[in-house]
Amino acid sequence: MKKIKDLYFAHEEIINYLVVGVLTTIVSWIAYGLCRFVLDVNGNQLHMQLAVLIRWIAGVLFAYFTNRKFVFKSTNPNKIKEFASFTSSRVVTYFLDALIMAFLPGFLPAVICGLSRDWVATLVSAVVVTVTNYILSKFLVFAKTKKL
């Protein structure tokens, strides 16, 4: 048990980021699933992009608060500026997500391992976006400032 605890504390930030990332992905996919229920995303690019936007908004709101508190443990008193920076970095990855979702499904077969092409594209996009989000959050948004 001590080894597990030591391992956790040695890699706490990345482990917490992965847990929060999984939870953020679940929140995003629930939002996307609800959009699929309401909107016809198959063959309708406008509805697909609207579903991606709603998925993104849900994910960003959840991710900011959980990353701030549990991952990067930010003590920045300027939460508005920090949130603006976080949101700006997520706008970049939103466009990356939107590009992947606009083009990748068209290159995929209709069904892969029982999943529709939009869900497969969503999985691919999640990996690319998660890695990019971590890099932007770690080095830009929640970067620790050195005290002189």
Kindly give the pairing relationship between strand 115-116 and strand 111-112: antiparallel
Rounded to 5°, the CA angle 130-113-94 comes to 25
Q: What is the pLDDT of residues 100-134, one digit of tens each?
A: 999 998 888 888 888 888 889 989 998 898 889 99
Residue 115 has what pLDDT?
85
Q: Which is more confidently placed, 85 or 29?
A: 85
| Residue whose tokens read 């992905």 | 25
Rounded to 5°, the CA angle 39-88-85 comes to 135
**Distance (Å, whole) CA 97 – CA 82:** 22
Length of the chain: 148
pLDDT at 146 over 70: no
Q: What is the pLDDT of residues 26-64, one digit of tens each?
A: 999 899 999 988 887 777 888 888 988 898 899 999 999
Residue 147 has what pLDDT?
56
